Amino acid sequence: MLRTLILTLAALIATAQTIPLSEYAKRREQLRTSLNESVVVLWANPLRPDIHDRNGVFQEPNFYYLTGWMQPGAALLLCAACPEDKREIFFLPVRNARRERYDGPMVAPGDKDATDRTGFKKVLPVEQLEQSITASLAHARDLYTLFDGHEQALNKLAPLRSVKDAKLSITQLRLRKSTTELAVMQKAIDASIAAHFASWRATKPSLHEYEISAIMQQTYYALGCERNAYPPIVGSGPNSVILHYNSNRRKMDSGDVLLMDVGGEYSMYAADITRSIPVNGKWTLRQLQIYNMVLGAQNAAIAAAKPGVMLPDVTKAARDYLNAQGKGPNDLPWGDYLLHGVSHHIGLDVHDPFDPTIPLAEGNVITIEPGLYIAAEQLGIRIEDMIVITKDGSRLLTSALPRTAAEVERGMRP
Ligand SMILES: [Mn+2]
């Protein structure tokens, strides 16, 4: 049964899923409209190679959200009040034969297919960015950019204009996932679920945490993921209570719990999934007691997540459930052993930006990840799943990966 499920997942993931250039154009139009008397200037990550050395080239997520563009060194200018042909301009570095020797062919301004490849009608050399910004200011009042250092350049270029942060406006768009975004995210999720299944079958006493980490990464990389969404957390026994443990060096013992908070990134979108399993394939009674409380807290939090609710209320639902289970060690209510909030937005970033004053709304994708951590017993259990908020509740995006203690045991059997 498990094998069939995994084969089905693999087949689903094999069909490539991308977001069409027209959707990026629609997002830019929405941003332009929301900042309609302003000029928006955004930069891609720079060509400077050192920032890409460790992890390879990646794109600034807000820039990627609005352009789908992976090459570094680009820039974007939006101006709703400008004449039609200057409402959006894309800037690219000029052709550099030596760089292309290293990095492969790139689209350059002046290329015949530059419009088709970028989805922009107007593509100029990045050297013309300054004069284009200045020209656009004849039609607009303020300048918006991301405050990652670029605001200083704009302040210098236009000292009499006010330079404002574009982050909130872009965040508001990014919070609501489109149908195509959800389809891409499902790819990241399905590949990560296959990785968790693989870990269940592989785990046994005397293996090292990094061996399980390697098996999980191998699984989602082979299914098309291009990166870890975050450093894999594979913590057994005493490491299961360390929230962001990721050295993954320990040799596992029979009787340990193994906590795996591991997810891949597909087409720039993150998955974030945690399961906790018994290293020898069989829960102890104490582990089972803790596991079922965490699962109950997760169900309570999922039930609480719906449009209009604030994220701290989702955490409160989990904590209230735990507190209703009585007292844990040291006579403390169980809720005290939940050491963190249980939910965050996820998308292009594993911790997607959000505005704490805006309640949950249809199309938001969030995690639900309660845990109980008892350091004195070297026992940490966390269960993390991803949901999308619907009109009147939510839908579990990670439902293909079982959550109950009995199903985990069954999934570990050879
Ligand atoms: Mn998480």
Last residue of a domain, one of 154, 174, 194: 174
Contact 114, 108 (CB under 8 A): yes
Indicate the pairing of strand 123-125 with strand 88-92.
parallel
Q: Does the residue 31 lie in any domain? A: yes
- 155-191 pLDDT, tens digit per residue, is 999 999 999 999 999 999 999 999 999 999 999 999 9
**Final residue of a structural domain among 130, 152, 174:** 174
pLDDT tens-place string over residues 24-63: 999 999 999 999 889 999 999 987 666 556 666 789 999 9
Indicate whether 218 pLDDT > 90.
Answer: yes
Report the separation in Å between the CA atom of 39 and the middle of ligand 1, taken as the mean of its atom positions.
35
For the chain, the average pLDDT equals 94
Choose the final residue of a domain: 148, 174, 200.
174
Q: How many domains does the chain have?
A: 2
Decide if 112 is inside a domain. Answer: yes
Question: Which of 41-55, 65-79, 317-331 shows the lowest mean pLDDT across its residues?
Answer: 41-55
Domain that holds residue 155: 21-174
Mean pLDDT of 7-36: 82
- Based on the fold, state whether residues 143 and 208 are members of the same structural domain: no
pTM of the model: 0.94
Q: Which one is predicted more confidently, 322 or 13?
A: 322
Q: Cα of 386 to ligand 1 centre, how many Å?
A: 9
Sequence-ordered alpha helix ranges (H) in 123-178: 129-136, 150-157, 167-175
Q: How far is the CA of 235 from the centre of ligand 1 (A)?
A: 15
The answer to whether residues 170 and 43 belong to one domain is yes
Q: Are residues 81 and 186 in the same domain?
A: no
* 64 in the same domain as 164: yes
pLDDT at 47: 77
Q: Give the pLDDT confidence score for residue 57 in this predicted structure.
A: 72
Is residue 145 assigned to a domain?
Answer: yes
Please give the span between the terminal C-alpha atoms of the chain, in angstroms, as a whole number.
12
Amino acid in the structure at residue 129 = L
Considering the domain architecture, whether residues 168 and 195 belong to the same structural domain is answered as no
Cα 384 to averaged position of ligand 1 atoms, centre (Å): 7
Cα gap 141→39, rounded to integer Å: 8
Does residue 169 share a domain with residue 222? Answer: no
User: What per-residue confidence (pLDDT) applies to 11?
Assistant: 60
The H or E element that residue 164 is part of is strand 163-165
Q: Are residues 109 and 122 in the same domain?
A: yes
For 202-217, how does the pLDDT look when each residue is reduced to its tens digit (9 = 90+)? Answer: 999 999 999 999 999 9
Reduce the DSSP state of residue 61 to 3 states and report it: helix
Do 300 and 249 lie in a common domain? yes
The domain spanning residue 233 has which CATH number?
Answer: 3.90.230.10
Cα–Cα distance between 368 and 341 in angstroms, integer? 9
Same domain, yes or no: 348 and 267: yes
State in Å: Cα 406 to ligand 1 middle.
Answer: 24
Question: Is residue 8 situated within a structural domain?
Answer: no
The whole-number pLDDT of residue 307 equals: 98
Q: How far is the CA of 76 from the centre of ligand 1 (A)?
A: 31
336 C-alpha vs ligand 1 centroid, how far in Å? Answer: 19
Instruction: Give the pLDDT mean for 96-125.
Output: 94
What's the CA-to-centroid distance between 367 and ligand 1, angstroms?
6
From its phi and psi, is residue 74 left (phi > 0), alpha (psi between -120 and 50) or beta?
Answer: beta
Q: Is residue 16 over pLDDT 90?
A: no
Q: Is residue 379 part of a domain?
A: yes
pLDDT score, position 18:
85
* CA 382–ligand 1 middle distance (angstroms): 10
pLDDT at 8 over 70: no
Region 275-284: mean pLDDT is 98
Task: Judge whether 13 lies within some domain.
Answer: no
Judged by DSSP in three states, 323 sits in: helix
User: What local confidence, expressed as pLDDT, does residue 36 receive?
Assistant: 84
Measured distance CA(58)–CA(268) in Å, rounded: 9
pLDDT of the residue at 2: 60
Question: How remote is the CA of residue 261 from the centroid of ligand 1, in Å?
Answer: 8
225 and 356 in a single domain? The answer is yes
264 within some domain: yes
Section 282-309 average pLDDT: 98
How many whole angstroms from 272 Cα to the centroid of ligand 1? 5
The CA 155 to ligand 1 mean position distance, Å, reads 37
Residues 248 and 352 in one domain: yes
Nearest to 16, CA basis, from 135, 165, 180, 131: 180
86 with 234, same domain?
no
Check pLDDT > 60 for residue 14: no
Q: What is the pLDDT of residues 387-408, one digit of tens each?
A: 999 999 999 999 999 999 999 9
Structural contact between residues 277 and 254, judged by C-beta atoms closer than 8 angstroms: no
Question: In this structure, is residue 7 part of a structural domain?
Answer: no
In the prediction, which pLDDT does 102 show? Answer: 86
The answer to whether residue 13 scores a pLDDT higher than 90 is no
Instruction: Tell me what pLDDT residue 103 has.
Output: 85
CA distances to 224, 231, 266, 378 from 228, rounded to whole Å, are: 11, 6, 9, 27
pLDDT at 223 over 90: yes
Is residue 221's pLDDT more than 90?
A: yes
- The count of C-alpha atoms lying within 13 angstroms of the C-alpha of 114, restricted to the half-sphere facing its C-beta, is 20
